[in-house]
Structure 1
Amino acid sequence: MLWACIVLPHLALDSVLRRHPEPDKPFAIVGGHPQRRELIAVNDAAAQAGLHAGQRMTLAQAILHDFAVVEQDPREAERWQRFLAAWAYRYSSQVYAGWPDAIVLEAQGSFSLVGDWPRFEAQLRADLTALGFRHRIALAPTAHGARVLAGVRDGLAILQREHLRNALGAVQIRRAALPDDAGMRLHHVGLRELRQLFALPRDGLRRRFGQGLLDQVDRMLGDAPELLDCYRPPDTFDVRIELAYEVEQHQALLFPVRRLTADLAAYLAGRDGGVQRFVLRLEHEEHPSTPVEIGLLAAERDPALLFELTRSRLERAEIPAPVVALRLIASHLPPFVPAGRDLFDEQPVGGVPWEQLRERLRARLGPDAVYRIAEATDPRPERAWQRDDGSSADGVEDRPPRPTWLLPQPIPLRGPAPRILSGPERLESGWWDGGDAKRDYYVLELALGQRAWAFAPVGEQGNWMLHGWFA
């Protein structure tokens, strides 16, 4: 096995900045005791202005009086780590998210699908950049080894187990993610690199530092099994974004809505599924939340389509009070079946597939405004079709050709005697609902060359009633 470890050194900060409308302006996460507020994390703009993590809030305000702040939520980083585990699940069924600010996934099993490691690594980095998370990635034959290497050197890849000991040996002892405070204690006794730890007698290490240190080293080198409780994605997507200020217009909600739908698409890709119904809740300060329900005819997971549908429904919704938070909930997650495409698809550049166009029209015009016509089981021409919402059968039975243009009411056919091309087709139906019909239908060619669909009373010809035209 080969394990890829993704270290997220700024997970708490990135999880806030990715949904902040102005991430390039000075920004900080604050926490601590109410009487001793301090900065927990700052973005690049705030750091350039002289702010840094651990700084007292009063001093930071003296240096820079105008910067945005968000209260620290210890659970926020954990929620987004689980979200990224759901994203990583699209690439591997073995994902572990039990270490702070890190995710590990088994990568070798996906090489045949994604490509070799350089291509796989590039795909991971592209996804994480699009999601808005800074990261470091390393590959190693063990999960614990990959975690250590990712913490010290971005992009390192160890493919052979025999090379792992040398790579780990150069790691500083304090950065080796050893249990408890073992790294600092070993540093105090004069050890600087892991190779020095590897060379020490195991009995002495066990007496002074406990069996936990030896077990960690063995798992790191692959000499002991790694018992990881792998991640399993939940059956419901539920993400909430709290806005920095009250919003009263639809336009100001589009940025967080785009982020929410992109996160939903990433979650669905991890599950290899789609979504058919979900709800966007607009939360207000002193008013019940406003639900904006989005329904699709078929399961989808394209982020652009999900955003377009949500935006269309949101623009039609009334906002009764200022919005302070958004919450997107999706619990109906059926399997996703991609639309079939021909090998040599002649769809023009910039063209939109019919499935996406259909959903966009339904979102803008209403769910009942767009539908297709399908055959019904009633053979009477005026009742032989029905509106189709996608649940009816593709066809009910084999029938002779029907005209493209069916007249609202049959009319007498005048003019020279037509030539019969086919028929009669006997139709006898409707006795049970008062619309009894007994007709013999024919395909006729008129004197000017038109092809008509007409009927005559049963057993008679000549008294033609025109009912439709063929193209």
Structure 2
Amino acid sequence: MLWACILLPQLALDSVLRRLPDPQRPLALVTGPAHLRSLYAVNASAAEAGLSPGMRLSAAHALLADVATVEHDALAEARWHRFLAAWAYRHSSLVSAQWPGCVVLEARASFQLLGPWPRFEARLREELTALGFAHRIALAPTPRAARVLAGLRDGMAVTSAPAMREILAKVPVRRAALPDGAGERLHRMGVRDLRALRALPRDSLRRRFGLELLSHVDRLYGEADDPLDCYAPPDHFDSRVELGYEVEHHPPLLFPLRRLIGDLCTYLSIRDGGVQRFVLRLEHEGRVQEGAHTDVEVGLLAAEREPARLFELTRNRLERVSIPKPVVAMRLLARELPPFVPASRDLFDARAQQTLPWPQLRERLRARLGDEAVYRVAPAGDPRPERAWRRDDGRPAIEPVLPPRPAWLLPHPVPLRGHGLRIVSGPERLESGWWDGEDARRDYYVLETAQGQRAWVFAPVGEREGWMLHGWFA
């Protein structure tokens, strides 16, 4: 096996920056009690101004008065860690997020599908950059070795066990991810690298540091099995974005909406599925349980997972909803995730950039005009022509077998007068409607006029005069 480790050096910070329209503005995550606030992480522009993690918040304001601050949310950081594990699951069936700040995945099995490691690595970096997460990537025969190498140098790739052992021997103990701070303690004792550590008696190391250290080193070198807590994707999608400010109009909501839709489509590609119904929840000040939210329901006629299409449909529905109170957060919930079947396309599509497939046009019209404004027409079980069709709502119905009907049916029958009328076919007797007060007893004929037109007419039962025109055949 070959394991790739994706190290996320600023996961908590990136999870905040990716939802901001201007991520270059100085920003710091703060933590600690109210009387002793300190900086947890800072972005590049804040670091250039002299701010650094661990600094007191008062000192940070003294250096940079206009720095934006956001409370560090450990639960949100863990949630984004799981999201990136879900993203990695689309590239490998063996993914683990058991170590904080990194994701490891088995890569060798994916080479046949995604190409050799340089191409695979480039794809991982491209997608992580699009998602908005800084990263370091390394490849090694064991997951722990990949984790250590990613911390040493970005882009390292070791594919053989002898080469891995040679590189690991020179790794400083303080950077070998040893458990319980053992690396710092060993460094103070004069043990500088893993070669010196492995030269020490194992019994002495076990008595002083415990079995966990020896187990870690054995698994690091691949001398013992390393069972990982493998990731399994959930069966629903639930993501929330806090805006950090109050929004009273639709345009400022579009940027976080695009991020939420992109995350949803990433999740759908992981499951190789689509979404047919989801809810965009606009949260206002107050408790959600007390109704301080506005739900925008998005329903599609078929499963979809194209980001641009889902964003366009959701934006159209969002713009039709009035915002009663300022919005402070957005949440996207999707529980109906049916299988997704990609639409078939011709090999030589003519001017595809100027055409819009019917499913896309249908969903766009429903989003703009409303669900009831766009529908299909299907035959009904009533033989009366004016009641012989219905709105197709997807429910099965009995479709009667009838003789040919005209393509142009008049809204109301009108008298047909003229000379040279010739009966082509008929009569077709219709007797129906006695149960709803609109009893109809008619004999229908197909007539040909002197000009060669074919008309669909009826007369009272048993008569051949007083024709009433009901439609024209093409």
- Do both share a fold (TM > 0.5)? yes
Gaps of 5+ in 1: none
Tell me which of 441, 445, 451 is aligned to 1:448.
Answer: 451
Taking the aligned partners of 2:389 and 2:4, their CA distance within structure 1 comes to: 56
Deviates more, 1:430-439 or 1:360-369: 430-439
Contact 1:40 1:54 in 2 (8 A): yes
1:403 aligns with 2:409: no
The change in CA–CA distance for 1:409 and 1:19 in structure 2 (over 3 A counts) is same
Against the structure 1 CA distance between its residues 350 and 30, is the aligned structure 2 distance closer, same or farther, given a 3 Å change threshold? farther
Q: How far did 1:298 drift?
A: 2.4
**Residue 183 of structure 1 corresponds to which residue in structure 2?**
183
What does the per-residue CA deviation read over 1:350-389, in whole Å, with 9 as the maximum and x for residues that have no partner?
Answer: 4333222222222221111111212223344322221123
- Counterpart position of 1:140: 140
- CA 1:384 to 1:347, structure 2 compared with 1: closer, same or farther past 3 Å? farther
Q: Distance in 2 between matches of 1:280 and 1:438?
A: 53
Once the 2 structures are TM-superposed, how far is the Cα of residue 413 of structure 1 from its aligned partner?
A: 4.1
Is the Cα–Cα contact under 8 Å of residues 86 and 271 in structure 1 kept in the other structure?
A: no
2:345 to 341, 348, 357: 341
Displacement, 1:231? 1.6
Structure 2 CA distance for aligned equivalents of residues 194 and 470 of structure 1: 90
* Deviation of the 1:29 alpha carbon: 0.9
The alignment partner of 1:70 has SS state of strand
Cα-to-partner distance string for 1:108-146 (whole Å, 9 max, x where unaligned)? 333343333333322222221111111112222322222
Seen in structure 2, the aligned counterparts of structure 1 residues 303 and 189 have a Cα distance that, compared at 3 Å, is same
2:319 maps to 315
The 8 Å contact of residues 374 and 395 in structure 1, kept in 2 or not, is answered as no
One-letter identity of the residue aligned with 2:147: R
Distance 2:9 2:416 in 1: 82
Distance 1:205 1:425, change over 3 A: farther
- Residue type of the partner of 1:12? A
CA distance in 1: counterparts of 2:133 and 2:109, whole angstroms: 25
1:371 maps onto 2:354 in alignment: no
**RMSD of aligned alpha carbons:** 3.0
**1:268 aligned partner:** 268
Residue 4 of structure 1 corresponds to: 4
Counterparts of residues 57-136 of structure 1 (less than 5 Å): 57-136=57-136
Q: In 2, distance between residues paired with 1:22 and 1:144? A: 36
Matched, 1:292 2:296: yes
Cα distance in 2 for residues equivalent to 1:199 and 1:420: 109
Q: Which residue of 1 aligns with 2:253?
A: 253
Provide the residue aligned with 2:471 in structure 1: 468
**Which residue type is aligned with residue 315 of structure 2?**
R
Which region of structure 1 is more displaced relative to structure 2, 406-415 or 366-375?
406-415
Structure 1 residues 112 and 311, CA gap change in structure 2 (3 angstroms): same
Q: Identify which range, 96-105 or 198-207, moves more after superposition.
A: 198-207
1:419-456 CA distance string (max 9 Å, x none): 77777767665565555656666666544344444456
| Superposed CA offset, 1:183-213 (max 9, x none) | 2233234343334444555444434433222
Q: Which residue, 383, 387, 390 being the options, matches 1:386?
A: 390
- 1:447 & 1:162 partners in 2: Cα distance? 97
Greater mean deviation of Cα atoms: 224-233 or 199-208: 199-208
Question: TM-score by structure 1 length?
Answer: 0.88
**Aligned partners of 1:374 and 1:394 also within 8 Å:** no
Alignment coverage as a number of residue pairs: 470
Distance 2:149 2:208 in 1: 26
The letter for the 2-side match of 1:306 is L
Question: After alignment, is 152-161 or 174-183 more displaced?
Answer: 152-161
| Distance change >3 Å, CA 460–CA 282, structure 1 → 2 | same
Secondary structure of 2:69 counterpart: strand
- Correspondence for 1:237: 237
Percent of residue pairs bearing the same amino acid type: 66
**1:154 Cα offset (Å):** 1.9
Specify every segment of 5 or more residues in structure 2 that has no aligned partner in the other structure, as ranges.
Answer: none
Shift in Å, 1:170 = 3.8
Taking the aligned partners of 1:66 and 1:120, their CA distance within structure 2 comes to 41
Aligned AA for 1:236? Answer: H
Counterpart CA distance in 1 for 2:89 and 2:397 is 36
Deviations along 1:210-240, one digit per CA (max 9) or x if unpaired, are 3222222222233322211212222332222
- The residue number in structure 2 matching 1:26 is 26
Larger mean Cα displacement after TM superposition, 263-272 or 431-440: 431-440
Q: CA deviation at 1:55?
A: 1.8
Q: Structure 2 CA distance, aligned partners of 1:95 and 1:377? A: 55
Distance 1:238 1:98 in 2: 21
Matching residue's letter, 1:304: A
Q: Deviations over 1:304-362 (max 9, x none)?
A: 22222322222222222222222222223333333333333446314333222222222
Aligned to 2:352, the other structure's residue is in SS state coil
Q: Which amino acid aligns with 1:95?
A: V
| CA shift for structure 1 position 42 | 0.9
Which letter does structure 1 place at the counterpart of 2:299? G
Distance 1:454-1:217 versus aligned 2 partners, 3 A rule: farther
Name the structure 2 match of 1:328.
332
SS at match of 2:227: coil
1:136-194 deviation line (CA, Å, top 9, x unaligned): 12222322222222222222233344443234334332212122222223323434333
Q: Is the 8 A contact 1:26 1:44 kept in 2?
A: yes
